[in-house]
Chain A
Amino acid sequence: MDNRQGGIQQLLAAEQEAQQIVNTARNEKMARLRQAKEEAQKEIAAYRSQIELDFQKKLAQSSGDSGANVKRLEQETEIKIENLKTEAARVSHDVVSMLLKQVTTAQAAAK
């Protein structure tokens, strides 16, 4: 009689233990899935910082380029204006003479 009782106790204990083993596994699974979210966040944050870093580098480089472009443009403009003034000085006398001649020549033709 005692053995039978003992036996049933053993079986019940085994069932309980079994349940615990499965529950533990289930809890660990849930913890693992939470970990997935946490680790994902970390990876994402690291990715974002890297991309941001690259972006800022590119930005700094391109603003350096634009600065150089602006300078080049300004220089080209100055050269154009200088050439213009030189050319103007060269032709000014002739232009003035031409204008005066036209003003002082009155073509008096009958219409």
Chain B
Amino acid sequence: MNDTDVSKQIQQMVRFIRQEAEEKANEISVSAEEEFNIEKLQLVEAEKKKIRQEYERKQKQVEVRKKIEYSMQLNASRIKVLQAQDDVVNSMKEAAAKELLKVSEDHHDYRKLLKNLVVQSLLRLKEPAVLLRCREDDVHHLEHVLDSAKEEYAEKANVHAPEIIIDTNIYLPPGPHHHHLFSFHHHNEHGPFCAGGIVMASRDGKIVCENTLDARLEVVFRKKLPEIRKQLCSQITA
């Protein structure tokens, strides 16, 4: 081979080496782009998913909190309404209690009432001897009606007339206007008072029948409460 041939061959080899290197560099470059895209996409998608889940959780928490708050407010307002119902119903009872105080002012009717209360109590106790307690002011009323009461009871229960002793040691507290006279307090009585009626006990004191007007009001009120509530509620839920 001559020098020019050798030199030509060498040039060819040099070119070849360079070409191979550049092809390889190209391959590397192309794969670099591919891997770049894949890597970036994977990273972004993975994190995006996590972020979405995180915020979904946050959103749920917010909603749960809202529900709880709303339900608390609903409860609070329900309680408010129930409380208002209670207040309204109790003021009716208080109005009734106030009216009750006037009952003993009509002596004629009050006397009749006392007699009926005595008979009713006797029928409840069914005792041959009883103790009767009343307000000091009512003693004279009772003394007038006691005999006819005993007779009525004896007839209705088919027994002998019972023995009734009025307790003169202990009286039921007086009506509130007494407080008004003897104390200088304002007319709102704060001591115990009694609107009238009687308390009857068996002679040994073991069985007691409370037939004061106040006690009767309590009993009637409790009995009629569902009815009263229904009457009120039918309006407000309509």
A residues whose Cβ falls under 8 Å from a Cβ of B: 3-4, 7, 10-11, 14-15, 17-19, 21-22, 24-26, 28-29, 32-33, 35-37, 39-41, 43-44, 47-48, 51-52, 55, 58-59, 62, 66, 69-70, 73-74, 76-77, 80-81, 83-85, 87-88, 91-92, 95-96, 98-100, 102-104, 106-111
CB distance B236 to A21 under 8 Å? no
CB-CB < 8 A to A103: which residues of B? 96, 100, 103, 213, 216-217, 220
CB-CB < 8 A to A35: which residues of B? 36
The CA-CA distance from A85 to B223 in the complex, in Å, is 22
* 18 pairs from A and B in contact (CB 8 Å cutoff): A4-B6, A17-B21, A18-B17, A19-B21, A32-B35, A36-B39, A36-B43, A37-B43, A55-B58, A59-B62, A62-B66, A73-B73, A77-B80, A80-B236, A96-B96, A98-B224, A106-B117, A108-B152
CB distance B119 to A106 under 8 Å? yes
CB distance B21 to A18 under 8 Å? yes
Q: Please provide the 4 A-B residue pairs with the shortest distance between their CB atoms, ordered closest to farther.
A: A18-B21, A25-B25, A29-B32, A106-B116
CB-CB < 8 A to A111: which residues of B? 123-124, 126
CB-CB < 8 A to A70: which residues of B? 73
- Name B66's closest neighbour in chain A (CB-CB): A66
* Number of A-B contacts defined by CB within 8 Å: 199
* Residues of B in contact, count (CB < 8 Å): 79
Within 8 A of A (CB), among B91-144: 91-93, 95-96, 99-100, 103, 109, 113, 116-117, 119-120, 123-124, 126
CB distance B81 to A80 under 8 Å? yes
The CA-CA distance from A69 to B187 in the complex, in Å, is 46
CB-CB < 8 A to B81: which residues of A? 77, 80-81, 84
CB distance B10 to A33 under 8 Å? no
A26 CB to nearest B CB, Å: 6
CB distance A21 to B21 under 8 Å? yes
CB-CB < 8 A to A91: which residues of B? 231-232
Which among A28, A84, A99, A106 is the interface contact of B84 at CB below 8 angstroms?
A84
CB-CB < 8 A to A109: which residues of B? 123, 156
CB distance B55 to A51 under 8 Å? yes
17 other contacts beyond A44-B43, A51-B55, A95-B228, with CB at 8 A cut-off?
A: A11-B13, A21-B25, A25-B25, A25-B32, A33-B39, A36-B37, A36-B40, A37-B39, A44-B47, A51-B51, A62-B66, A87-B236, A88-B232, A95-B92, A98-B224, A100-B99, A111-B124
